[in-house]
Structure 1
Amino acid sequence: MNKLIYKITLMAMLVFSFASCKKFLEKEPIGKVGKQVLFEDVNGAQLGLVGAYRLVLDYNRDEFGMHGDVASDNMVYTPTPAAQFMGQSFNFSSTPEDDALVTGHIWLSVFEALNNVNNVLNALPALKEKFPDQLSQIETIEGQALVLRALCHFDLSKVYAQPYNFTADASHLGVPVLTKTPSPGENVVRRSMKQTYDQILLDITSALPLLNKYNNFTNQALVNYQAALGLLSRVYLYKGDWQNCLNTSNLVIADTRYKLATATEYKSLYSTYTPNANTSSTKSEILFQLSGASIEKVSITELNVIFASQYGASSKLLNTFDADDIRKTQLFNTLNSPRIYTTKYTAGAYAIKVVRLSEVYLNRAEANWNLKKYDDAKEDLRVISQRAHPNQTINIGNPSPDDLYRLIAEERNRELCFEGHRLYDLVRRKESLTRGVDCNSTVCTLTYPNDKFVLPITTKELDANKGMKQNPGYN
């Protein structure tokens, strides 16, 4: 962590690299003085928030955004030198020495974003006193930043810690919980998974009244009230808090400003960037997306190259779609058969979907199932399946509870594949990883529980910070 502290202190959140403040930052010395100057007024805090969004976008378009699918049963790879970029994830071969590979990059890039968010949040109390007439703008910044901080901690916990229910009381290792930038030389420890989630939930629930108070912006590239609720429903899902997952999902689904895309609109969710879709005449199912187009012209080429030409869909995934499912006919490039790639990320794309309304329906379906509200769970499942089959009338029938659970899990993967969920869904459900007959990884099966489901902490991090603990299985 000291290595991390050194890097992020050196940058002192001056790694924004967006055009609107590049010249301003070039004029300021790096370090404490730069931060003080940046946060002299509310406009500086707004710039800091934009920088935080950019860094969250960056780690999502790089290794973190790929790891959840590449390390799952959804993918096979085309042997090329470039495909080895994510080879450690695909083959579960990461080691503590991989400081310059997936293990080190995800750790550092998420903490860089977290550092920026904390610098923004820690500057706001003074700005509230100094500029009371700008309280609405400051509180709007605060609400967004709190959710971004929760997202950073949540994303870290998915990669470097076993799922919340790994131990009965979530007492196993989580991740460092940071609400301010650590001082150089300060040892930072990992908190328990319960403590990690406590902070995540505190940040989102603290943000909700602020975002609801100023719930008048619809730019999908900004965190608003509905986006925070959608993320909260996911956190409760991962925690296994079924009633709160249900309650939160209900609030999102009941909001008439959002609706599921129709079958004819579905493909355009991925091929068209619409930053302000939720107007009085046009509604969308996108609650929150990370978009370089709203910050500067930053493409998500990394995801496109990896998912559209190097890591293709596995036969196991493709076989879960029937022939009439529009998700198979519209979002896969069948011209490349026998290697078939997703087209969710196209050349020149600028947006990564973080929370969609369809996910919230599936969150609610799983919560309803766990609460033994099987009819309600079937209806949520039917809604998502019906949208994917516009030329059929979907009837779920009367499956057994076990079969219904399987149907919900399969529908979730069909709907959310290549959007960063699959590995984490498997492990939170305590399921083993079993790749299909076309598996060309060195690891085709991992039985739950398994140390390999999480990445190690790098040796350099451990050497620099004596308070840090390694994940089991990597000592």
Structure 2
Amino acid sequence: MKNIAKIALLILLALSVGSCKKFLEKEPIGKVGKQVLFEDVNGAKLALMGSYKSMLDYYRNEFGMYGDVASDNLVNVPANNVYMPEQFNFSSTAEDEASGAGHIWLDIYETLNNVNNLINAIPELKAKFPGSTGELDALQAQALVLRAICHLDLSKVFSQPYTFTADGSHMGIPLLLKTPNPGQQVPRNTMKETYDQIIKDISDAIPVLKIYGNTDQALISYQAALGLLSRVYLYQGNWTQSLANADLVINDKAYALATASSYKTVFTAYPLSSSSPKVEILFQLSAQGQDKYGATDINTIFSSFSAARYKASAKLLGLFDANDIRKKDMFSVNSTKSITKKYADSISTVPNPFTIKVIRLSEVYLNRAEANWNLGKYDDAAKDLQIISQRAHPNKTITIIYSSAADLYKQIADERNRELCFEGHRLIDLVRRKENLQRGNDCNSTVCSLNYPNDKFVLPITTKELDANKAMKQNPGYN
């Protein structure tokens, strides 16, 4: 297995392959040298599309499922073998290079190296093609946000949350701003350094994205960057900045929440809208035109009625009342299981478009609610909570009543899980809020509870990485 200092440039072309035939004939895909790839602006465009495709690949596989598989949201479907058993049972070891821990590490760093190669090629391309400066700035801005997402995603899996220490001085992940040389020793940065770079990349991109805005929801836009920054600050515990960035997205009015009647189509239609404002999705990864889903894709594991490995736990289903459209419209139910409809069913003869939601406007409202709560603005927090809950209950009037600050906080947390379940958030939300994991009575994992803090809330660095990279330190509890 390659370590992060040996990952080669990997260009995976997701869109318009036919129109790029002459370019592809120069060298086989996967062996395109950087000098060839970045010889013109078209090559930079192809590299960006390859980076989006590479990110889609890690979201459709173990990383995209990890936050729910390792949470209290799911139980294994007894008739089918457990998928990602090490993560479901909290039994990961440093030798798991060929399973979840190893795949997540390698796949995200491959995407990160693709993005870095593009970012570092932009200055030379600007000098070579001064008439394309604006276009290249727009490509670079998208790539900066993709780099921030990679670093954030890695930190969610391999590092304790930012607030694990008071100053973020605990181990984060190796920050890569360029592809390491073969054999280069790459240490881990602190969590503060990790977040500082994430925030810098998104902040540097935002002014450019505001000028050169994207309207395709499968590309990074100005609003998507702001929404992601709201999430980053929420994870960091910087409530003021999380609130400020959420306000910028919501008040911009370029995007609107899906209505109750259109909610289901958020997950079943692409493109969502050609009108303004756009509906719900700030940024999604799209495999439009790719009709084949694998046996271990998120579609099959979570949404195939016959082949799903996981179903909703009784604890999760118990959060929804009978009138909640998210329960009525977003689950497929039979006598033995209830599975999500948030992904295309790989078994269907007419599969839904394959899209994975990275950030939705609903999350931004919930970010703002939680930030307001932490700032003591309870009535403002309740207003955002009411907006999300009312949309889910179109046939009755929702009023948020809370007996205490703690009661309101629990309502916000429960609403977040109702809205974002099966989208990779649950374990990350539990851990960053310093809550215990308590699975329900139908738990069929070997581990049904874990108290915070816990070494098992992060995955190990693989032995192969440690052997190849002596500067790397293992996570506690895996030595």
Give the TM bin, normalised by the shorter chain.
over 0.9
**Residue of structure 1 in register with 2:284 after alignment:** 289
Deviation at 1:274, TM superposition (A): 1.2
- 2:229 is the counterpart of 1:237: no
Percent sequence identity over aligned pairs:
62
**Residue of structure 1 in register with 2:382 after alignment:** 378
Whole-angstrom distance in 1 between the partners of 2:404 and 2:419: 22
1:367 corresponds, among 361, 365, 371, to 371
Whole-angstrom distance in 2 between the partners of 1:32 and 1:436: 49
Whole-angstrom distance in 1 between the partners of 2:124 and 2:75: 52
Whole-angstrom distance in 2 between the partners of 1:73 and 1:393: 30
Whole-angstrom distance in 1 between the partners of 2:25 and 2:467: 33
Q: Residues 298 and 339 from structure 1, CA distance in 2 versus in 1: closer, same or farther, beyond 3 angstroms? A: closer
- Cα RMSD for the two superposed structures: 1.8
SS of 1:355's equivalent in the other structure is strand
- 1:300·1:350 contact (CA, 8 Å) conserved in 2? no
Whole-angstrom distance in 2 between the partners of 1:33 and 1:274: 31
Task: Give the AA of the match of 2:222.
Answer: Y
**Residue of structure 1 in register with 2:348 after alignment:** none
Whole-angstrom distance in 2 between the partners of 1:258 and 1:91: 39
Whole-angstrom distance in 2 between the partners of 1:328 and 1:374: 27
**Residue of structure 2 in register with 1:469 after alignment:** 473
Deviation at 1:3, TM superposition (A): 2.5
Whole-angstrom distance in 2 between the partners of 1:272 and 1:152: 26
- 1:2·1:184 contact (CA, 8 Å) conserved in 2? no
Q: For structure 2, which runs of at least 5 residues remain unmatched after alignment?
A: 346-350
Whole-angstrom distance in 2 between the partners of 1:473 and 1:178: 25
**Deviation string for 1:234-282 (max 9, x for gaps)?**
000000000000000001011222111110001111111116x2523x6
Task: Give the AA of the match of 2:5.
Answer: I
Deviation at 1:23, TM superposition (A): 6.4
Whole-angstrom distance in 1 between the partners of 2:29 and 2:76: 42
**Deviation string for 1:414-458 (max 9, x for gaps)?**
000000100000000000000000000000000000000000000
Deviation at 1:313, TM superposition (A): 0.2
**Residue of structure 2 in register with 1:57 after alignment:** 56
Q: Residues 29 and 385 from structure 1, CA distance in 2 versus in 1: closer, same or farther, beyond 3 angstroms? A: closer
SS of 2:429's equivalent in the other structure is helix
Deviation at 1:29, TM superposition (A): 7.1
**Residue of structure 2 in register with 1:169 after alignment:** 167
Aligned residues: 466
SS of 1:3's equivalent in the other structure is coil
**Residue of structure 2 in register with 1:149 after alignment:** 147
**Residue of structure 2 in register with 1:307 after alignment:** 302
**Deviation string for 1:175-226 (max 9, x for gaps)?**
00000000011000000000000110000000001101112x3100000100
- 2:315 is the counterpart of 1:316: yes
- 2:275 is the counterpart of 1:279: yes
- 2:67·2:425 contact (CA, 8 Å) conserved in 1? yes
SS of 1:5's equivalent in the other structure is coil
**Residue of structure 2 in register with 1:259 after alignment:** 256
Task: Give the AA of the match of 1:61.
Answer: R
Deviation at 1:26, TM superposition (A): 5.1
- 2:344·2:354 contact (CA, 8 Å) conserved in 1? no
Task: Give the AA of the match of 2:324.
Answer: D
**Residue of structure 2 in register with 1:329 after alignment:** 328
Deviation at 1:372, TM superposition (A): 0.2
Normalising to structure 1: TM-score of the pair? 0.95
SS of 1:136's equivalent in the other structure is helix
Deviation at 1:34, TM superposition (A): 1.5
Deviation at 1:4, TM superposition (A): 3.0
Normalized per residue, the structure richer in helix is 1
**Residue of structure 1 in register with 2:431 after alignment:** 427
Whole-angstrom distance in 2 between the partners of 1:343 and 1:130: 48
SS of 1:341's equivalent in the other structure is strand
- 2:456 is the counterpart of 1:452: yes
Deviation at 1:303, TM superposition (A): 1.1
SS of 2:244's equivalent in the other structure is helix
Select between 394-403 and 141-150 the one with higher mean Cα deviation.
394-403
